[in-house]
Chain A
Amino acid sequence: MVSETVVDLSRWQFAATALYHFLFVPLTLGLSVLLAVMETVYVVTGREIYKRITKFWLRLFMINFALGVATGITMELQFGMNWSYYSSFVGDTFGTLLAVEGLMAFFMESTFVGLMVFGWDRLSKGKHLVITYLVALGSNLSALWILVANSFMQHPLGAEFNPVTMRMELSSFHALFFNPDAQAKFVHTVLAGYVTAAIFVCGISAFYLLRRRHEDVAQRSFRIAALFGVLGTAGVITLGDALGFIGGHAQPSKLAAMEALWEPEKAPMAFNVVALPSQEEERNLFEVQLPGFLSILVTHSLDGTVPSISEIQEEAKMRIRNGIPAVQAMERLGKDPTDQEALDTFEAHKADVGYGFLVQRYAPGGDLTQITETDIELAAKDSIPEVWIIFWTFRIMVALGLLMLGYFVVAIVLTLSNKLKQSRRFLRFSVWMIPVPFIACEMGWIVAEMGRQPWTVYEILPTWLSVSTHSVTYMVVSLTGFVLLYTTFAIVEMYLMIRSIKKGPEEPDEIELKQRGQLPQTQPATA
């Protein structure tokens, strides 16, 4: 049996490294597209200032990009290192998606990013613009495949368990790729990246406007980003709703936790605006409700209902009892793959094999014949994620999303009526908005991933079973190493970012000096 500490440490390590990775990803996703937009304006208008704008944001993009790439390597290797059983169990489907991501997207993004940075003087304007678009396309396609992979964990479609090889195997690539969860999740996540980049650009531009520096670059950047951001935010919220709708039906336990819905209710169900959920007492110690709103939000109707936590737990108990014979049959098949009786038992119970694994955690030495009613009760309780975390991270994400929408509406009005420079309070507020989308993104992932617990692959593979059989020492060593390394990286990155922002875009006279003094062979750029 795997030690609980190893499971916890593996989870902490994954959470820490994934959340850290996702501090850099949204900005890459969004800024790559914003760069393409800015450069398009440059190529279409031919005005030199838009080249300076593009090059300035490109410099910040690259500082961020380096860490996105670096921390992405960790993600690629971590499944095999810390989640060995998960990897062999679902590698046939999940691994395929990661490999295709490399082939189709990451190769393109990484190859062209070199040309994007180094190719200004070697490529025609048009060709360089195409390269910039390919980088944006690459990073967004990359997100597509990764999110399809994540959606497989949330809602495993397109795979079947093969008792001969004792793992999940691909049954339909079509079903795997066109997972409805993946489509909503992709658009939601990518747009969240666009919003992040928009707020980043608006915030830094506001900083220059406050200091009355680089005003030409700042005002134009702000306007482009604000337009980009308002569309992005509206999209994020719409798709977030769709994702809740689709995900809610695929994962009732996550939805019930998001809404802290402990007991069954009649339609129209009330929405808990705020609540103090208690996992032990299985109720809310305190709640403020909006009557009827939950039905409207999650079923888009007044007479729809969703299952409550107590109903889900009852169903879990049934499925656990049904799943135990499946796991026992699977273990017999491991010894003798030709055991027909075991194969028949497995076929009859295979829908609930995941629930059999779930309760096995309480079986002494993994022996399922010794499972008692108390163990089944405990495992049924496990089938519900930590309610207060899901409830609150979800609400923080939504609240920040609405705040950003409001922010962009004001930003659009001010920039289009040319009142931005005078609105100094709004400019100061803009600088403070920079961390907001990052926090919202992280909250979103906490809802998605902690809300999927206790599973790594929903209702198929429990988290406790997915880990590698490492010692606690190994896990402590690796987690400590990551904390030290990533903290150093964060300090260095922030330092360089702030330094580059303070330095600001190059002014036209600086560029001219450089070209005359040090780059005699370069053609002077056409204004």
Chain B
Amino acid sequence: MDIYFYLIIIWWLLLGVLLMGLGAMVGTDMGVGTILRYVGRTDAERRVAINIVGPHWDGNQVWFILGGGAIFAAWPLVYATAFSGFYIVMLVLLWSMIVRPLGFEYRSQIKSDAWRNVWDWSLFVSGFIPMLVFGAAVGNVLIGVPFHFDDRMVSYYTGSFIGLFNPYAILCGVVSVSLATHMGACMVLIGSGEQQISQRAKKVAVFSGILALVLLTIGGIWSANLHGFNLVESPAPGVPQTPLHQTVTVEAGGLLKNYRQYPVLWVLPALAYVSLIAGILAIRAERAVFAWWSGVITWIAVIGMVGAAMFPFVMPSISNPSHSLTVWNSGASTLTMSWMLGFTALFMPIIVSYTSWAFYIMRGKVNTQTVESEESY
């Protein structure tokens, strides 16, 4: 039991790491897609913005794929319940995401304004929508999702898909979009060798940074008044179990009860504020690299805030709270978690090294001349 208990905690933290990786790496590229039509007014300018992330978007996108795979492996019940429950939203996410590789690869194949315009819009949609859905999904998980299981663990989602677009979820979605555009704008600032593009990117970075600050504040106040879930009775943590044998209650105004119990957790929202403000100031001081890294810290803080509020819940059920998914009842087996941990420990450092090396090789500014080479997007 002991080993399983710790494995669960480690995999819960690693789930957070994956979501942060997704937010920071995929979010940056999607942010660039979202602001593409604003920062680049001419075709050449847009190509500059696209080529800043051009060599890296594909590798970064694997954070998303790996996120899916790792949830499937380490949290199979979460993967099965969430992906089928959020069906139409997942479809929208998927359809917008699969347009993205084509936007990057096909846009510059033909020299035609109409053609390139279509792909500019597709890059906008495939940047904006997935980040909105990503945040909205987190919002829905925070307030609970209407689902239950039968005796054989078949899951049933009983809500409507419109219900997934509730105001709180949309607020969370816009927070995620604003963080993405903030970091996307930082990345454009880092890589742009064109004055005008940089000036527009600077405006976006400051604006979306401030927007994120405001929305996080509203979200925080809102969250303080939202219901939370209490695990009243269940098999012991670290013992293999299903969600069929526990009692969970809903407590009005209880979403932040972990914060009230452990005030040290307030360090997370504080970190989010500090890093965002530092990022905005850094942008004004022309320190884009610093600002981008501040954005990474913001993602860590924001994902951490959500995790801290929910623990031990991963995906609570609002329609049948006792069937809620917790870290104790939705994880993979001891053996699977151990193997996965071994693979992650082995490959994560390798991935981080070659990703850094790829950024190092492709360092330097992109301008309207360099994008004329045949390899460019």
Identify the A interface with B (CB < 8 A). 55, 62-63, 65-67, 69-74, 76-77, 79-82, 84-85, 87-96, 98-104, 106-108, 110-115, 117-123, 162, 164-167, 169-171, 173, 330-331, 334-335, 337, 468-470, 474, 477-478, 481, 485, 489, 492, 496, 499-500, 506, 514, 518-519, 522
Contacts and interface: CB of A to CB of B under 8 A. Distances in A.
B74 interface: yes
Given A85-B154, A111-B58, A102 B65 contact: yes
B204 to A, nearest CB: 24
B76 A92 contact: yes
21 contacts: A65-B105, A66-B104, A66-B106, A73-B94, A79-B72, A85-B153, A87-B72, A102-B66, A102-B70, A108-B354, A110-B58, A115-B361, A117-B55, A119-B362, A167-B76, A169-B332, A170-B335, A334-B151, A468-B155, A478-B87, A519-B373
Given A117-B375, A118-B375, A468-B84, A73 B98 contact: yes
Contacts of A477: 88, 91
B100 interface: yes
Contact of A103 (B109, B244, B351, B375): B351
A102 B336 contact: no
Given A87-B79, A111-B355, A477-B88, A67 B361 contact: no
Q: How large is the interface on B (under 10, 10 to 19, 20 to 34, 35 or more residues)?
A: 35 or more
A62 B340 CA distance: 31
Contacts, number: 268
B59 A170 contact: no
Interface string B49-92: 00000111111011011101111111011011111100110110
Given A76-B65, A91-B332, A500-B109, A98 B73 contact: yes
Contacts of B362: 114-115, 118-119, 122
A6 to B, nearest CB: 12
Interface in B137-179: 151-157
B90 A77 contact: yes
A32 B344 CA distance: 26
Given A70-B97, A170-B336, 5 more contacts: A79-B72, A92-B333, A92-B336, A103-B347, A119-B362
Contacts of A173: 335, 339
A99 B361 contact: no
Interface in B98-136: 98-102, 104-106, 109-110
Contact of A107 (B74, B241, B351): B351
B133 to A, nearest CB: 12
Contacts of A96: 73, 332, 336, 339-340
B102 A99 contact: no
A77 B83 contact: yes
B336 A492 contact: no
Contact of A91 (B72, B82, B241, B339): B72
B163 to A, nearest CB: 14
Contacts of A62: 105
Contacts of A113: 58-59
Contacts of A492: 102, 106
Contacts of A500: 109
Contact of B154 (A92, A120, A469, A518): A469
A469 B77 CA distance: 15
Contact of B62 (A90, A106, A519): A106
A103 B58 contact: no
B254 interface: no
A112 B362 CA distance: 12
Contacts of A165: 240-242, 333
B277 to A, nearest CB: 33
B54 A118 contact: yes
Contacts of B154: 84-85, 469
Given A87-B83, A88-B153, A481 B91 contact: yes
A115 B83 contact: no
Contact of B55 (A63, A66, A114): A114
Contacts of B104: 66
Contact of A87 (B76, B95, B372): B76
Nearest to B150: A334
Contacts of A166: 152-153, 242
B106 A496 contact: yes
B333 A118 contact: no
Contacts of A334: 151-153, 242, 244
A99 B66 contact: yes
B358 interface: yes
Contacts of B332: 91-92, 95-96, 169-170
